[in-house]
């Protein structure tokens, strides 16, 4: 069906061709100056997002100040898709009962679990053991071979707050990479083709 002011897609093209043809038509109608301007706008948005992320890293002391819970191992405290806000100030002692995000050698994805046991040495060094609230056993099976305790250097951050289910978009994009690329393409096209009022 045609809408007001629109043209039907070319014969034999099928429905998806209509929006694609409009996109390329808009790009062709832009002069070089407009196109450069929109590309610079897009670059500015990307660099601003990176600057905000780097700023959060400095303020929170965590290399990943915002993470998404990817599994149900911490239910009922956190559910899959919850967005966690982290801090990682080295002066703060790690306590039993707090929720930490840690990295284990050989695993790319950080793990969000609770500290269940602390082992403090005489020299002040602390080692600790973690476990998912929804798991029956502790995390020793997740640590690298021969490792029985975590140390402060393994901690990416400690959970200070969360937003429920906001991270589901991230999970969907990880589970369906084509959706991620389509979404990025649409966002990029929108920024490039958006004209100043």
Phi, psi of 4 (to 5 degrees): -65, 130
Q: What is the distance between the alpha carbons of residues 5 and 10, in angstroms, rounded to a whole number?
A: 16
Phi, psi of 121 (to 5 degrees): -85, 170
Q: What is the distance between the alpha carbons of residues 74 and 52, in angstroms, rounded to a whole number?
A: 29
Exactly one of 26, 90, 133, 139 is catalytic; name it. 139
H-assigned helices in the chain:
17-29, 32-60, 168-175, 177-193
Exactly one of 62, 82, 113, 154 is catalytic; name it. 113
Q: What is the distance between the alpha carbons of residues 102 and 158, in angstroms, rounded to a whole number?
A: 9
Decide if 119 contacts 94 (C-beta within 8 A).
no
Known catalytic residue at 73? yes
82: Cβ contacts below 8 Å, ≥ 6 apart: 68, 69, 162, 163, 164, 165, 166, 167
Known catalytic residue at 139? yes
Q: Which residue has the tokens 């589970």?
A: 175
State in Å, rounded, how far the first CA of the chain is from the last one: 29
User: Catalytic site residues?
Assistant: 73, 113, 139
């Amino acid at each position: 069906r045609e809408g007001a002011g629109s043209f039907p897609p070319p014969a034999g093209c099928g429905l998806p061709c209509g929006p694609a043809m409009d996109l390329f038509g808009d790009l062709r109608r832009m002069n070089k100056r407009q196109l450069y301007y929109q590309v610079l706008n897009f670059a500015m948005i990307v660099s601003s997002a990176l600057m905000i992320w780097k700023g959060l890293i400095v303020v929170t002391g965590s290399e990943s100040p915002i993470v998404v819970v990817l599994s149900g191992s911490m239910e009922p405290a956190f559910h899959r898709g919850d967005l966690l806000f982290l801090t990682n100030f080295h002066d703060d002692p790690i306590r039993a009962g707090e929720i930490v995000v840690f990295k284990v050698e050989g695993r790319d994805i950080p793990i969000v679990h609770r500290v269940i046991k602390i082992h403090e040495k005489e020299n002040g060094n602390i080692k600790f053991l973690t476990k998912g609230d929804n798991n029956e056993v502790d995390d020793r099976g997740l640590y690298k071979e021969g490792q029985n305790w975590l140390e402060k250097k393994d901690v990416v951050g400690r959970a200070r707050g969360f937003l429920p289910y906001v991270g589901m978009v991230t999970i969907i994009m990880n589970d369906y990479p084509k959706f991620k690329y389509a979404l990025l393409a649409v966002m990029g096209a929108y920024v490039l083709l958006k004209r100043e009022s």
